[in-house]
Amino acid sequence: MRTSQPDQDRHNETTIPCILLHPSLPKTDSERREARESASESERERARRQREARARPERERERERERESERERASEREKREKRERERTEMKQQNLNNRKKKLRRRTLL
């Protein structure tokens, strides 16, 4: 039990100073604060980019839904106009047939 403790202490003594002495890590409190802030800024930037990337497909889907609904409205409008034309044509044809009948009756 006693033998494992000094090994662990020796390990800590060698690794902690190595980590603290690493050139890329901040040394002072202000450097650490600055590193933390820049890390949080880059994290916020990364999160913002991810949100935009997720929102982009959503905007595309929304535009596609709008285009689809516009196509449906145009289709309904065309059908309605076609029915109107057919109705007016039928009315005109009925009117012409009545006139023909009346002419025949008056000629007889």
What would the pLDDT profile of 53-105 be if each residue is shown by its tens digit? Answer: 887 888 888 999 999 999 999 999 999 999 999 999 999 999 999 999 999 98
DSSP-derived 3-state class of residue 27: coil
Query: Which pTM was predicted?
Result: 0.43
Q: Distance between CA atoms of 20 and 46, rounded to whole angstroms?
A: 27
Closest CA to 73 of 83, 81, 61, 85: 81
What would the pLDDT profile of 5-42 be if each residue is shown by its tens digit? Answer: 555 555 555 554 555 555 566 567 777 777 777 777 78
Q: Distance between CA atoms of 79 and 69, rounded to whole angstroms?
A: 15
- For the chain, what are the domain ranges? 28-107
Amino acid of residue 36 = R
